[in-house]
Structure 1
Amino acid sequence: MITVDFTLFPVGPGNRVLDLGCGGGRHAFEVYRRGADVVAFDQNENDLADVATMFAAMRAEGEAPAGTEAETVKGDALDMPFDDGMFDRVIAAEIFEHIPHDTLGMKELYRVLKPGGIAAVTVPSWLPERVCWALSEDYHTNEGGHIRIYTRAELEAKLKATGFQIGPHHHAHALHAPYWWIKCAVGTDNNDHPLAKAYHKLLVWDMMEAPAVTRVSERLLNPVIGKSVVVYLRKPLDTEREREFDGRSTRADAAPGATIRDTV
């Protein structure tokens, strides 16, 4: 399940990409398929082992262009073992809602991104997340769970204060919001509840078959109940640090389908 829109976040040969807090590796795998060099970074050794296994399988099956590199690195998002400006692109999907010192994590993201490089940051959307918190205490009090709910304005303000130029945004995965509401209502660990099982079956069918009815429905619902919000960012070049970026310059178009263009 890909959250980042790669038409807004172009990656390909010659790009070095960090998947920060990669989890199961969903975005790292897509980056690898597109021919960019990718580092999957996380603190969970089990997840990283699974991601490394998949990288090896993709190489064996020729799913990534020859010469493209993919590796896993274990570490702390607040103190990453990378040089300044090491990456052309950074993806941070659904991690900042877990981090107590989120602004420190944003500063680390900014540090390792090359001037002129672009980043994609995703967090749970305010409304679907608020419903989940209201329905279930377990949802947000379990170890390693979500510790805050962002509005998009708050997220963008923190990223802008870090130094990023704010570009386009969109919402994603509207069909997944009701599933989590059901889970929160019947018990987050109650996977055998008939309603939860039925809705999960619907989601699997949607992901496997991508039928028009669900794809169109989700596209229409995303602005209202999209489970995730995605913000695209750019780290200014040194000569541009005093220029205001509003997503409508020649380097980034805030209209739907626009791309943040960089100079790397």
Structure 2
Amino acid sequence: MLTVDYDLLGVRPGMRVLDLGCGEGRHAFEAYRRGADVLAVDWGQHEVATTAQWLGAIAAAGEAPAGARAAVARGDLRALPVPDASVDRVIASEVLEHIVDDQTAIAEIARVLRPGGRVAVTVPRYGPERVCWALSDSYHANSGGHIRIYRGDQLSERLSAAGLRPTDTHHAHALHAPYWWLKCAVGVDRENVLTRAYHRVLVWDLMKRPWPTRTAERLLDPLLGKSFVVYADKPA
């Protein structure tokens, strides 16, 4: 399930792509399949190991074009193990809301980007996220949980303050917002017949990509999209 639009990000074969807070690698995988030279970074040891395993499986299956490369590293987003101005594209998806010193992390993104490079940042959208926080403390108030809710203009201002120029924005995953409201109402660590049924629908949508749910999500994203995505360029 991708949050970033790779056409807007402009990932092309041979580009150096940095996936920050990669989790289990979903965005790194797509960049690798598109022929990029990918470095996926996360602080979690489990996440790093899982991403490395799946990248190896993609290579073994021949799903990455010749010349594409991929590596995984454990690292702190506030002190990236990457030289200055060495990366063409950066992805920071659903990670800044976990970092206390997000301004340092954004400054690191600006540091490693080459002039003319582009970053895609995604965070939970203000409205849907506020509903989740109101329904459940367990949703966010835990070790490694969400410590802030960004307004769209606030995130763009922080990118601008680091010397980046915000350009395009959009929302994503409208069908997931009601699911998380339901989970928060029931209890994030609990399941019932409604949460299980909704989860099955989301998995079916992810695997089959049927036109009714794809159309519904495209129409609902501006209203209910759970994620806010902003793209920003480093001036040449």
**SS of residue matched to 2:140:** helix
Alignment of 1:115-264 (within 5 A): 115-190=115-190, 192-237=191-236
- What amino acid maps onto 1:193 in structure 2? N
Amino acid at match of 2:9: F
Could you say which structure has the larger radius of gyration?
A: 1
Instruction: Give the secondary structure class of the aligned counterpart of 1:4.
Output: coil
Aligned residue identity for 2:119 = A
Distance, in Å, in 2 between the alignment partners of 1:205 and 1:54 is 21
Aligned-pair identity (%): 57
5 Å-filtered alignment, 1:15-94, equals 15-94=15-94
Contact 2:14 2:67 in 1 (8 A): no
Q: Which runs of 5+ in 1 are unaligned?
A: 238-264
2:207 and 2:14 mapped to 1: Cα distance?
A: 31
Q: CA deviation at 1:77?
A: 0.4
Residue 81 of structure 1: CA displacement?
1.3
For each residue in 1:124-173, what CA deviation from the matched residue of structure 2 results, as whole angstroms up to 9, or x when unmatched?
A: 00000000000001111011000000010110011111111110100000
Distance in structure 1 (CA, Å) of the matches to 2:13 and 2:218 = 30
Provide, for residues 2-60 of structure 1, a one-character-per-residue CA deviation record: whole Å limited to 9, x for no partner.
Answer: 00011111212120000011001000000000000100000111111111111111111
Letter of the structure 2 residue corresponding to residue 29 of structure 1: F
How many residues align structurally?
A: 236
Between the aligned partners of 1:61 and 1:137, the Cα distance in structure 2 is 42
Query: For 2:127, what is the secondary structure of its paired residue?
Result: helix
Shift of 1:67: 2.2
TM-score, structure 2 normalization: 0.98
Q: CA RMSD in A?
A: 0.7
SS at match of 1:134: helix
Distance 2:158 2:198 in 1: 35
Instruction: Give the aligned residue type for 1:53.
Output: Q
